Chain A
C-alpha cells in the first residue's frame, strides 16, 4: 500500500518538476518549488527517512521560499526568452534517461535486505551503536560519531557557501551607481493585524521547537542541521514581521558572522581536544572516563556546532538578499 502512495507522490513530483521548467513567470516557479519541496519531504517520510524529511521540511518549507522571493525582488518577473537549438541537449538528456532506466533493471528491489548497500557497514552500525554510543537514533550516531569527518566536511561546505554568497552579493556594480536610489526602509508587516498577532504567537514556539529538535536529536528525528534551519526560520519570521532594522538590532551582522565561524570552530576544536586527550581526531571516547558518556558528550557538542553554523549562515544569506532590495 505504502509503495503505491510513494509511486503516486513521485508521479506528482515529476509533474511539478516539468511545470517548474516550463513556467515562464518566475513567481509561479517559486510557488511550484514550494510544492516540490513539500512533495519531496512527504516522499522521504513515506520511505521511512524521517531525519532527511525533517531537513527538507526545515529548509524547504520556509527558508527557500523566503530566499527565492528575495532573489525575485531583485530581478524581472518573467523568464527571458532565449532562442536556442535544443537538439543536442535533448538528445543527451534522452540518452542519459534511457541509460538510467536501463540501469534500474539491475537494481535490487526497494527495501531488499540482501541489497549490497545493506550488507556493507550498515549491520555493523546497527549492532554496535547500542554498545558504543547507547542512543536510540542510529542516524545521529552515524552522522555525529562514526562518520564525523563527513559531517565536518558538510559544515565547512555550509561555511564556504555562506562566504561565497555574501561575497557575490556585496560586489557592487559601479556603473549602476548613478541610477541607484536610496532603498525605502523595509517596514515589515507590523501594520497588518493578523500576521502580527499570529506571528508573535508562533515565534516563541518555533524557537522552542528548534531547541527541542537540537537536543532531542539523539532520541528522535532531528539534530543540528534541522534545528539551525528551524531557529533561523523563526528569526526570519521576526524579520518579516518587524522589518529589517529591528531584526538586525536583535541579531546584528557581527553576531551572525561569529555564529557562522564559531560553530565550525567549535566542531573542529572538539576534534583537536580529543587528539590532545590521547585519542584520534573526533574520537569522542576519550572525552570522559566512561567512553559511552564521552561519545554522547562529543555528539551533543558537535551537533551544537552544526546548529550554530547553519543558523548563522541562513540568517546571513537572508539579510544579504533582503538588504540588496531596490539597489
Chain B
C-alpha cells in the first residue's frame, strides 16, 4: 500500500512542477509541452489510484486519457499551421 502512496506523491510533485511551467511560460511552446506533460501525469495518477483503491477496472479511465490526450495537441499543431498560412497570405496581399 505504501508503495502506491509514495508513487502518487511523486506524481503529484511532478504535476505541480508541470503546472508551474504552464503558468510561468514564457513561450507558447513551454505551455503546450507542460499541458502534454500534465496529461501524461494524470494518466499515471489515475492508474496508480485505481490500484490503490483495489479496483483495476477503473483503468478504463486512464486508457481514455491515454487515447484522447493526443487529439488536443494535434489541434494545437493544426491551429499554428493555419495561423502561419494566414500570416503568409496576408504578407502576400500586402506585397501586392
Closest A residue to B28 by beta carbon equals: A27
Say how far A321's CB is from chain B's closest CB, in angstroms.
11
Within 8 A of B (CB), among A154-169: none
Are B63's CB and A209's CB within 8 A? yes
Within 8 A of B (CB), among A203-255: 205-206, 209, 213, 216, 220-222, 226, 230, 233, 236-237, 240-241
Which listed residue, B28, B42, B74, B86, touches A195 by the CB 8 Å rule? B74
Within 8 A of A (CB), among B1-19: 5, 8, 12, 15-16, 19
Are A240's CB and B68's CB within 8 A? no
Per-residue 0/1 for A37-65: is the Cβ within 8 Å of any B Cβ (1 yes, 0 no)? 01101100110101001100110011001
Are A38's CB and B83's CB within 8 A? no
List residues of chain A with CB under 8 Å of any chain B CB: 1-2, 5, 8-9, 12, 15-16, 19, 27-28, 31-32, 34-35, 38-39, 41-42, 45-46, 48, 50, 53-54, 57-58, 61-62, 65-66, 69, 72-73, 184, 186, 188-189, 192, 195, 198-199, 202, 205-206, 209, 213, 216, 220-222, 226, 230, 233, 236-237, 240-241, 325-326
**Which 6 pairs of residues, A with B, have the shortest CB-CB distance?**
A65-B72, A62-B71, A66-B75, A62-B68, A61-B68, A69-B79
Can you pick out 29 interface pairs between chain A and chain B where the beta carbons lie within 8 Å of each other? A2-B52, A12-B19, A16-B19, A31-B31, A34-B72, A35-B19, A42-B46, A45-B46, A45-B49, A45-B58, A53-B46, A57-B68, A58-B68, A62-B68, A69-B76, A72-B79, A186-B78, A186-B82, A189-B74, A189-B81, A202-B67, A205-B67, A209-B63, A209-B67, A213-B64, A221-B58, A240-B71, A240-B74, A326-B86
